Structure 1
Amino acid sequence: MIDLSWMAWTWPTAIFFVVIFSMIALMGVWEYVSPGGAPRVGIFRFETTRGDRLFVSLLGSAFICLGWLYFTDLSLWYALIVCAAFFILVFKTV
């Protein structure tokens, strides 16, 4: 039997992974319902698809949360608000 007691499987951790999995699954459904997604050129001047924008927003959100933990003592719930705004900004402009 594998001992996984060292892992911090808490409700917030489980919710995090469920949300990430759900976002990827919903992108798959969206692509199935509306194939292609018409790649577009945004403010960074390179072509992106919906999947690219999801990846950029998830990666950026990870860095926002890491920076939040490093630079502030405020709750991560505030960082979640910043990440949600970043997610919307990426999907609208990138």
Structure 2
Amino acid sequence: MNDIGASFVAVETAPTPHEIAGDARISVIMVVYMTGEALEQSLTCVLADPQVNEFIVVDNGSDAREAAILDAYAGRYPQMRLVRGQGNVGFARGA
């Protein structure tokens, strides 16, 4: 049997929200391309987190409808920064 389905044990756990210092800055980077229905839900989820100080969204060549949604969110939320202009260059290069 191969080890693909084998369990693993975390060596170090991530800090809980209570362990993060009050003045800690958390940034989230999201690469977006033809996300569909999940787009608004994803944006809303990140923006609702009070620990996120900076939210960078890389528009990797979305269609006009999704670009309009991104523009609307960026206009409403000062912690969101929208980066676009490179077209669809793939996830790795977009990130």
TM-score of the alignment, normalized to the shorter chain, above 0.5: no
Please, what TM-score do these two structures have when normalized by structure 1?
A: 0.23
> Which structure shows the bigger proportion of residues in strand conformation?
2
Structure with the bigger RCO (C-alpha within 8 Å, sep 6+) is 2
> Which structure shows the bigger proportion of residues in helix conformation?
1
Please, what TM-score do these two structures have when normalized by structure 2?
A: 0.22
